[in-house]
Amino acid sequence: MSDVVSIQEQARRSFFQWHVLLIMKKKQLEATLEDAGYRPETVQEIEEDLPPVFDSDELALLQSVGLPIAPDLSQYDLPNQERIEGVRFFFHSASAFDNEHDYVLGFARQLSSGSYEYREVLRMSSSDRDYLDTASDRLNQAVTAYSVQVVFNASRIWSDFHGGVVMDWTSVSSRLLGLESENSETSAWFQETVDIPDPDAKKTKKRRSLKRKGRRGLYGRE
Average pLDDT over residues 84-91: 96
pLDDT score, position 46: 42
CB 165 within 8 A of CB 121: no
pLDDT score, position 171: 94
Band (178; pLDDT cuts 50, 70, 90) = confident
Please report, to the nearest 10 degrees, the dihedral formed by the alpha carbons of residues 86, 201, 205, 88 taken in order: -10
Q: pLDDT higher for 177 or 30?
A: 177
DSSP letter string, 75-117 = T-B-PPPPP---SEEEEEEEE-SS-TTEEEEEEEEE-TTS-EE
Please give the single-letter amino acid code of residue 83.
R
* Residue 34 scores a pLDDT above 70: no
Average pLDDT over residues 3-26: 53
Element (H, E) at 184: helix 184-193
Average pLDDT over residues 151-172: 94
Band (116; pLDDT cuts 50, 70, 90) = very high
pLDDT score, position 53: 77
Axis-axis angle for helices 57-64, 148-161 (nearest 10): 80
85: left (phi over 0), alpha (psi -120 to 50) or beta: beta
pLDDT score, position 186: 41
84: left (phi over 0), alpha (psi -120 to 50) or beta: beta
Q: Phi and psi dihedrals of 95, rounded to 5?
A: -60, 145
Q: pLDDT higher for 101 or 187?
A: 101
CB 121 within 8 A of CB 105: yes
Report pLDDT digits (tens) over 35-82: 666 655 554 444 444 456 778 899 999 999 999 999 888 888 888 899
* Residue 218 scores a pLDDT above 90: no
Give SS3 for 135.
Answer: helix
CA 100 to CA 196: how far, in whole Å? 30
